[in-house]
Amino acid sequence: MKVTVLQENLARGLSIVSRAVSPRSTLPVLANIMIASDEGRLRLSATNLELGITCWIAARIEEEGSTTVPSRTFSDLVNTLPADQVKLSLDTATQTLNIRGGTSTNDVKCIDAQEFPPLPVPDLKGAVQLNVADFKEMIQQVAFAASTDEARPVLMGVLVQVEKDKLTMAAADGFRLSVRKAVLGSSYGSFNAIIPARALNELARIAHDGEETIAMVVPKGRGQVVFRVKDVELVSQLIDGTFPDYHQIIPRNYKSRTLVSTASLLKACKQAEIFAREGSNVARLNIKSANGDMQPGEVEISATSEETGKNETIVEATVDGSGVLIAFNVKFLREVLEVVKSPNVALETGAANSPGVVRPVGDDNFLHVIMPMHLG
Amino acid sequence: MGIFYQLHLKLPLLALHYNYSMSRIILHLDLDAFFCSVEEIQNPSLRGKPFAVGGKPNERGVVASCSYAARHLGIRSAMPTSRAIRLCANLIIVEPRHKLYSEVSKQVMEKLSGLTPLLEQISIDEAFLDISNISEPPARFALNLQADIKNDLHLPSSIGIASNKLVAKIATEVGKKSVHRSASKTIGAPFGLTIVPASEEAQFLAPLPADMLWGVGPKTFARLNELGIHTIGDIANWPQDEMIHLFGENGRELWRHAHGIDERPIVTERETKSISSETTFNVDIADERTLEKTLRELSKQVGNQLRKNDLAGKTIKLKIRWTDFTTLSRQVTLPSPVDQDDEIIKVALKLLRTVRKPNQAVRLIGVGVSGLGAPLRQLSLWDGRSERSRTLQDVIEVMQMKYGIKEDERRD
């Protein structure tokens, strides 16, 4: 193989695919990045067997071929080369890749491409077309609520449901639930898939151009999902299992509905978290309804730590219904407020031990349910 | 099965008192043969006789404390009772009464706290006092204190005084031993008093065996001996770099301690940091069901203590001692604090299954909960299972309190 590429293209490609490298695998080849000439371009791929990322970059191919290069060495090296041409030439017999850039020449020991697990070649016919900006926002609003606890694998994923022209994404870690809906540009058949939150987060990282579209396919019977955005393809294993029926945990009514400025409540939560994080992360919300015209409604957010001290912030609010004292894991509250896009947010609460619902005001496509913390 | 339970409350630093003046005066007080002294007050006929407070020999009991007459015969605390009886056939074994000892200990500590607020209790029968700001000369202060404790509470005590905690404690030990040696015909409490003047710390420590230093256990001591190091003075004479090279950070501390340097402050206030419960089996246990049953029992005790103190903990720790006395502990930190038996049991059993090979015999097993705080619980989205189990637990506790009903093995 003899290939010439631009240093910045190669560096960008490596930074994209290296996220799927599995450095501590028992299979040494998984710590490598596969490079191959592919119809006039250079293809870079990495996989940890659950997630695979492939990226094509512009190249001048003088001689076809492929190999796998140790990821760390390759990326570190390319990042230090001058922003100019980089020449890659492989000695097939010894599987040594010569990397030449500027006045530097390097020989890197590689592993034969035959040993690299084959990545599926997807058929993108009938793929769901998604707008990058919208889909990224959906991922951002949902994926953080997925669990990191390997004891319940299903909850480590995001439920993605397509029904005709409707797309719904939902994730829950047992304590909170995030649900986001969107309308698609055209109509598709119905399907459900539980996609690992990690894969979606990677996708959101890769897809940065808001004008682009993402193509999503779930090939039948393969237990995989494939995303294609511009020059990048991401393949992920789906999570096997049944996602819990989340509809029944979304409260149908509330005792009080509190309207606040999203930014003010977020700031108050961040302040409370400075104290709460030392302990059990709990912040108390004392929601007070208006008392006549003289005393408007407010939310008093407070947190106490044995070591650090205590904090209390008052946020003006319009409280519809009775007041309530309720405690939340302030990290959960902060994380949802960070992804609410509307200037005002509504917090719907029932009793102190019933779920609270966060809804952006004027946007019915997003909702988030948080279970409170039980106060003693 | 005569399982002997111990409940521990472990204590962290909370209030540190530094004295920034040139030199401190630290007094270490140790009640002589404390458990035995208390027993002698209760039963004067024991006075002067060889007796030991401890577990029964047939239940693998050990000597918790022994009278000076017994010590004279070579009996020591922590010795298996069976061996103690071999040394002295007519040794009287007194069953320990821990509640009584705690009460008497409390009286002593109250007396001490009346003298200075800079008091640090380090065990049931030992305490440090910072007496730097007391105008009375240290020797007279110490003698008065010993007399007061003897007259008012009928307890003998030994005292060591030095410029820091390390040397003061060693001074007490040295005092006890030397008094005993010189007056070997009288069999009684040593009433030691040893004062190490400031700047003479290293000189005082030099001739003492190296294992009298904190941090020198049998392993370190053996390694030191291999290097030809036998006394504390030998350690002090080694280059510090060499000690660090050989023993790591511990080496640095050893070297400093060997020079009589110890800057740890007196710690006055304490707060419960962990609650644990452990048991030593009468015979080594390899049966999985028995181990799991014991672990359930211990977890219940810990859960009970947590709820009684209105606490919950995030970190659950399993402690295991194998038959060869190697001890290990494994812990897991949960996302939210727990105070329910079931939750503690679940984690403890999981830890047991990961550390123990099939059929591996166990000598001691224990479970503890730390990272304590108010029992705030993150409620769960679906399944109110944990809530139901909580209600059930509350009901069981009320029933037990009301009717003394024993809870049967609850099935999962």
- List per-residue pLDDT tens for chain B, 412 residues long: 333 333 444 433 334 444 444 578 999 999 999 999 999 999 999 988 899 998 877 777 788 889 988 988 889 888 888 888 888 888 999 988 888 898 899 999 999 988 888 888 888 899 999 998 888 899 999 999 999 999 999 999 999 999 999 999 999 999 888 765 554 445 678 888 999 998 899 999 999 999 998 878 888 888 899 989 999 999 999 998 888 888 887 888 899 999 999 988 887 765 567 888 988 888 899 999 999 999 999 999 999 888 877 788 889 999 999 988 888 889 998 877 888 888 899 999 999 999 999 889 999 999 999 888 777 778 888 755 445 555 666 666 666 665 654 444 443 3
Residues A31/A110, Cβ–Cβ less than 8 Å: no
In the numeric block, which tokens belong to residue A2? 């003899």
| Nearest-by-Cβ selection for B336 from A249, A280, A369 | A280
Q: Summarize the confidence of residues A244-272 as an average pLDDT.
A: 94
Query: In this structure, what CATH number is given to the domain that contains residue B242?
Result: 1.10.150.20
Matching residue, tokens 């060693």: B170
Shared domain for B403 and B325, answered yes or no, is: yes
**Nearest of B133, B134, B144, B204 to residue B168 by alpha carbon:** B204
CA angle A158–A159–A162, rounded 5-degree value? 130
In the numeric block, which tokens belong to residue A42? 């250079």
Shared domain for A200 and A98, answered yes or no, is: no
Q: Write out the residue range of the structural domain in which residue A308 sits.
A: 250-373
Domain boundary among A190, A215, A246: A246
Matching residue, tokens 């439920």: A159
Using the beta-carbon criterion (under 8 Å), do A175 and B382 form an inter-chain contact?
no
Partner B contacted by A174 (CB < 8 A) = yes
From B40, B103, B126, B387, active-site residue:
B126
pLDDT for A376: 53
Calpha distance A79→A90 (Å, rounded): 20
Annotated catalytic residue B387: no
Shared domain for B113 and B193, answered yes or no, is: yes
Q: What 3-state DSSP class applies to B408?
A: coil
The interaxial angle of helices B240-247 and B249-258, nearest 10 deg, is 140
Pairing mode, strands B63-66 and B274-285: unpaired
Is A54 domain-assigned? Answer: yes
Matching residue, tokens 């119809």: A39
**Nearest of B71, B291, B306, B29 to residue B175 by alpha carbon:** B29
Using the beta-carbon criterion (under 8 Å), do A244 and B382 form an inter-chain contact?
yes
pLDDT for B7: 41
pLDDT for B372: 82
Number of domains in chain A: 3
Is A121 domain-assigned? Answer: no
Shared domain for B197 and B217, answered yes or no, is: no
Q: What 3-state DSSP class applies to B324?
A: coil
pLDDT for B10: 40
Q: Write out the residue range of the structural domain in which residue B385 sits.
A: 274-407
Which residues in B lie closer than 8 A to residue A249 (C-beta atoms)? 381-382
Tell whether the model's pLDDT for residue A120 goes beyond 90.
no
pLDDT for B78: 81
Interface of B with A (CB under 8 A): 310, 314, 336-337, 373-382
Shared domain for B35 and B174, answered yes or no, is: yes
Partner B contacted by A226 (CB < 8 A) = no
Shared domain for B244 and B287, answered yes or no, is: no
Shared domain for A197 and A162, answered yes or no, is: yes
Long-range pairs, B326-331, Cβ under 8 A, ≥24? B327/B364, B328/B355, B330/B354, B330/B355, B331/B370
Shared domain for B107 and B163, answered yes or no, is: yes
Shared domain for B129 and B98, answered yes or no, is: yes
Q: Summarize the confidence of residues A198-205 as an average pLDDT.
A: 95
Shared domain for B294 and B327, answered yes or no, is: yes
Residues A10/A78, Cβ–Cβ less than 8 Å: yes
Bridge partners for B130 per DSSP = B26
Q: Percent of chain A beyond pLDDT 90?
A: 82
Residues B221/B208, Cβ–Cβ less than 8 Å: no
Calpha distance B281→B320 (Å, rounded): 11
Query: In this structure, what CATH number is given to the domain that contains residue B396?
Result: 3.30.1490.100
| Nearest-by-Cβ selection for B379 from A177, A371, A376 | A371
Calpha distance A133→A130 (Å, rounded): 9
Which residues in A lie closer than 8 A to residue B336 (C-beta atoms)? 280, 329, 373
Matching residue, tokens 């105008």: B135
- Residues, chain B: 412
Residues A33/A46, Cβ–Cβ less than 8 Å: yes
Q: For testing the chain A interface, which of B310, B314, B378, B382 should be mutated: the one with the most A CBs within 10 Å?
A: B378
CB pairs under 8 A between A and B: 48
Shared domain for B320 and B393, answered yes or no, is: yes
Is A123 domain-assigned? Answer: no
| pLDDT (tens digit per residue) in A321-334 | 999 999 999 999 99
Render the burial of A58-96: b for 16+ CB within 10 Å, e for the rest.
ebebeeebbbbbbbebbbebbeebeeeebebbbeeeebe
| Nearest-by-Cβ selection for B376 from A175, A282, A371 | A282
CB within 8 Å of A13: residues ≥ 6 apart: A42, A44, A55, A56, A57
pLDDT for A80: 96
- Closest A-chain CA to B314: A280
Shared domain for A234 and A277, answered yes or no, is: no
pLDDT for B270: 56
Query: In this structure, what CATH number is given to the domain that contains residue A152?
Result: 3.10.150.10
pLDDT for A260: 97
Using the beta-carbon criterion (under 8 Å), do A373 and B379 form an inter-chain contact?
yes
pTM recorded for the entire structure: 0.58
Calpha distance A77→A57 (Å, rounded): 18
Is A354 domain-assigned? Answer: yes
Pairing mode, strands A298-305 and A309-316: antiparallel
Matching residue, tokens 């007080």: B29
Q: What 3-state DSSP class applies to B332?
A: strand
Number of domains in chain B: 3
Phi and psi of A311, rounded to 5°?
-140, 145
| Nearest-by-Cβ selection for A373 from B310, B376, B382 | B376
Calpha distance A351→B343 (Å, rounded): 25
Q: Summarize the confidence of residues A186-208 as an average pLDDT.
A: 93
| pLDDT (tens digit per residue) in A279-323 | 678 899 999 988 877 788 999 999 987 678 889 999 999 999 999
Shared domain for A93 and A153, answered yes or no, is: no
CA angle A29–A31–A33, rounded 5-degree value? 80
Q: What 3-state DSSP class applies to A264?
A: helix
Partner B contacted by A311 (CB < 8 A) = no
| pLDDT (tens digit per residue) in A5-52 | 999 999 999 999 999 998 888 899 999 999 999 999 999 999 999 999
**Nearest of A239, A244, A246, A243 to residue A218 by alpha carbon:** A239
**Nearest of A341, A329, A339 to residue A370 by alpha carbon:** A329
ipTM computed for the complex: 0.79
Shared domain for A237 and A260, answered yes or no, is: no
Which residues in B lie closer than 8 A to residue A247 (C-beta atoms)? none
CB within 8 Å of A163: residues ≥ 6 apart: A190
Calpha distance A32→A48 (Å, rounded): 10
Shared domain for B287 and B251, answered yes or no, is: no
Shared domain for A132 and A189, answered yes or no, is: yes
